Amino acid sequence: MIGSDAFWIVLTGALVAVASGLLGSFLLLRRMALIGDAISHAVLPGIVLAFLFSGNLHSLPTVLGAAAVGLLSTIGIEALHRRGGLPGDASMGLVFTFLFAVGVIGVSSLGGNADLDQECVLYGELAFIGFEERLLGMPTSTTILLANLLLVLGVLGVGYRGLFLTTFDAGYAAAIGISTAFWHYLLMGLVSVTTVVSFEAVGAILVVAFLIGPAAIGHLLTDKLPWLLTWAAVSGVFASLGGYALAALLDANVAGAMTAVLGFEFLLAFLFGPYGWSTWRRRRPQTGLEKLRPLGAPVKP
Amino acid sequence: MTTAIADPVLEVHDLTVTYRQKPALWDIDFGIPQGVLVGVVGPNGAGKSTLIKAIMDLVPTASGYANCFGQSLDEVRQRVSYVPQRESVDWDFPASALDVVLMGRYGKRGLFRRLSNRDRRVARECLRTVGLEAFADRQIAQLSGGQQQRVFLARALAQEADLYLMDEPFAGVDAATERTTLELLGELRDQGKTIVVVHHDLQTAAEYFDWIVLLNTRLVAYGPKAEVFTPELLQETYGGSLTLLANVSELARKQNLPVRE
């Protein structure tokens, strides 16, 4: 049975890592890596609420309800920033900590509930995945995560050019009549859903590592987007494999070990990758002279 | 001064844009006929880029409107091509020069249909026009600033539009790019296209453009450059800073300082 347990753990970890790695690649390119952090915290009250209503974490309404809270939090962050005039990072910090606090209150007042406790919320329970009820022949979480990965792959496949264009040059995209808001919230929606379904496996804190880590590794290995996505997925799979081995060796938390391996992979990519440390010395020096404006001229708005 | 234009390609009417309760553009009213090369000139902070963005519907307007080809922009987006400032995007983005130029075909093709061989042929053709044929597969991070600017021009060309709005295509570029860009703008004009260019350098403006729009939050004047480039109107546009600017550039030339904007 141990062998089959290991298989489910590695597979589930890989499903989390690949889905969040692909989405994280676009977040990183949009300079929005931390929005994943915000969403992963903001979905907590949604999860608690949905859990109260449905009594379990695996129903479709639970997932969609919690993801909707995540999506709402990004809308709230935008609104506070745009209309409220609050700086972007401040509005993010305000919204997600507030929602997370609501979630923490919910979780702790449900104290002692076997399916939803603080340990599980923060660190995940990947190690026990093999004991879950089966759905379509796999542990329920694994099946859900597989469905999520297929959804992510499908949307990225169909919407690749839309995300590519709006990520690189939102101004031009808007000029040719493409709704940048649609693509923004489509990506945010996918991140929300992925965060919710990954929650149980790896916990609220480590899902951020899976959103940023594989993407950052890919960034150090290539300067082509299709390869960046590929490397993000590959490094995610390796982190899952290596993390399981490390956790088994040290008898430690599996998700934590996977994140540690991800960090180690990043270090290797940083030291030896073609776009890592070695290129920093070869980069063109920026003198800053290009940006000088004539003395006495007013500053552009 | 206002010249009445029959059948303007671009018509801006009563346009006002505010930025944090302060006007960035105030009651702008002008028209541009077909087949001219127009420079939008004014001091820093005059609202030159804002004008183009407002025409492209990229910033909210407080009042007024802009029409292209006598219709609202939404009806004719395919025929209007926009070149943003080079600094507005991150050139470390994992894309090749050809990838960026192909974006010029997205509007025609839609985001979900496959790009055809013709799209690729047009994109390569546009790269050749700006002298970057050999750089098609080069990653954009490895291009020089001038080459990056030319990639933006090629993308605008790939759209096969009739009206071009360009935001500072001459800012901080090398001599080769400046020459290529100028030739290209001339060719487009000779094909009957209309080109509106935001330009920061008063010295070269008279030489580059047929028409000039003088802007300083309000519209000071617009029309053929011979009518607009008068000391009075320039003084009105730049105010005291005109002499100051002239003095500074004179000083820089004398002392051989590396001054670029």
pLDDT at position A125: 75
Inside any domain, residue B5 = no
What's the gap in Å between the CA of B38 and the closest CA on chain A? 20
Dist. CA B233–CA B228, nearest whole Å: 7
Which residues share a beta bridge with A276? none
Q: Residues of chain A whose pLDDT is less than 50?
A: 1, 284-294, 300-301
Q: Which of A29, A156, A172 to mutate to test the interface with B (most CBs of B within 10 A)?
A: A172
Which CATH number is B134's domain given?
A: 3.40.50.300
Give the CA distances from residue B136 to residues A187, B78, B126, B131, in Å, rounded to whole numbers and listed in that order.
29, 24, 10, 10
Residue bearing tokens 């609420």: A49
Looking at the 3D structure of chain B, how many domains does it have?
Answer: 1
d(CA A116, CA B27): 60
Nearest Cβ partner of B95 from A162, A225, A301? A225
CB-CB under 8 Å, A165 with B111:
yes
Q: How many CB pairs under 8 A join A and B?
A: 106
Burial bucket for residue A25 (CB in 10 Å: 0-12, 13-18, 19+)? buried
**How far A277 CA sits from the closest chain B CA (Å)?**
16
How far does the CA of residue A209 sit from the closest CA of chain B (Å)?
22
Q: Give the number of other CB atoms < 10 A from CB of residue B103.
A: 21
Min CA distance, A73 vs chain B (Å)?
Answer: 24
Inter-chain residue contact B82 with A175, CB threshold 8 Å = yes
Q: Which domains does chain A have, with CATH numbers?
A: 2-274 (1.10.3470.10)
State whether residue A157 sits within 8 Å of chain B by CB. no
Chain A residue numbers touching B93 (CB-CB < 8 A): 29, 167-168
Residue A53: exposed, middle, or buried by beta-carbon count in 10 A (0-12, 13-18, 19+)? Answer: exposed
Alpha-carbon gap: A222 to the closest alpha carbon of chain B (Å): 8
Interchain proximity B95–A168, CB inside 8 Å:
yes
A223–chain B nearest CA distance, Å: 5
- Residues in A touching B112 (Cβ below 8 Å): 158, 161
Whole-number Cα distances in Å, A174 to B56, B85, B104, B243: 8, 14, 13, 39
The C-alpha torsion from B235 through B241 and B247 to B251, rounded to 10°, is -150
For residue A134, what pLDDT is reported? 79
For residues A43 and A30, give the distance between their C-alpha atoms in angstroms, rounded to a whole number. Answer: 21
| CB nearest to A171's CB, from B44, B58, B258 | B58
User: What does the pLDDT read at residue B137?
Assistant: 93
For tokens 């010395």, what's the residue? A281
Domain extent at residue B59: 10-255
Distance from C-alpha of B182 to C-alpha of B163, rounded to nearest angstrom: 16
Divide the 261 residues of chain B into consecutive groups of 10 and give the mean pLDDT of each group: 71 90 89 93 90 93 92 91 93 94 90 88 94 93 92 94 94 88 93 94 88 91 88 82 58 54 45
- Contact residues, A window 6-35, toward B, CB-based 8 Å cutoff: 29, 31
How many C-alpha atoms does B224 have within 13 Å on its Cβ side? Answer: 5
How many Cβ atoms sit within 10 Å of the Cβ of residue A191?
30
Interface residue A252 vs chain B (CB under 8 A): no
Residue B2 placed within a domain: no
C-alpha triplet A277, A283, A289: angle, nearest 5°? 140
Q: Can you tell me whether residue B144 is helix, strand or coil?
A: coil
As given in the structure block, the two tokens for residue B138 are 């080069």
Q: In Å, how far are A287, B142, B228, B237, B249 from B244, measured between CA atoms?
A: 25, 38, 21, 13, 9
Strand order in the sheet with B22-32: B22-32, B10-19, B63-68, B71-72
Residue B84 lies inside a defined structural domain of this protein: yes
pLDDT score of B258: 52
* pLDDT of the residue at B261: 45
Has residue B132 been placed in a domain? yes
**What residues in chain B have their Cβ under 8 A from chain A's Cβ atoms?**
19, 24, 43-45, 49-50, 53, 56-58, 74, 77, 80, 82, 84, 88-90, 93-96, 99-100, 103, 106-107, 111-112, 139, 141, 145, 155, 159, 172, 241, 244-245, 248-249, 258-261
Interface contact B261-A167, CB threshold 8 A: no
Strands B211-216 and B37-41, by their bridges, are parallel
Instruction: Give domain status of residue B96, yes or no.
Output: yes
What does DSSP say about strands B22-32 and B10-19: parallel, antiparallel, or unpaired? antiparallel
What local confidence, expressed as pLDDT, does residue B146 receive? Answer: 92
Asked whether residue B241 is domain-assigned, the answer is yes
ipTM of this complex prediction, to 2 decimal places: 0.86
DSSP label of B256? T
Nearest to A57 by CA among A112, A128, A131, A132: A132
Is residue A180 within 8 angstroms of chain B, CB to CB? no
> Does some domain include residue B193?
yes
Which residues from B are below 8 Å from A159, CB to CB? 111
Nearest-angstrom CA–CA distance, B102 and B119: 7
CB B30 within 8 A of CB B24: no
